[in-house]
Amino acid sequence: AMISEGEQIQYKVQLLLHINSVLLARVIQMTNNAGGGNAGTLPEQVQSLASQYLKRVHANLQCISQINQGAKGAKPLILEPPQLLVQLPGQDILAKLYLLMSRVFEIW
């Protein structure tokens, strides 16, 4: 069965939102584990990781905005997953989601 363009768009937006919720959950987890909500006291590594994640959230939101404006070839500016805190990329849901996202935006 062919998937309509409307369904493709809906799927892309849902995927981007899902990835964003995972990215944001990781940032919250990271900052909490590293000593609470005070960004000034966060270790350098955590700050730089958090910033990588947030850049991706931003790229995904920009893409959703372009999709909603009807941009045909819209895709997120950042298609590679951020560094993971725990180095098990094969099992990490974020790595899997990014793989899925790059494929979806390639074929549709």
pTM greater than the 0.85 cutoff = yes
| DSSP single-letter state for residue 104 | H
* Percent of the residues in the chain that have a pLDDT greater than 70, as a whole number: 89
- Write out pLDDT tens, residues 49-66: 999 999 999 999 999 999
Using CA atoms, how far residue 15 sits from 11, 24, 44, 86, 89, in Å, is 6, 14, 30, 23, 19
Amino acid at 12: K
User: Quick one: pLDDT at residue 39?
Assistant: 56
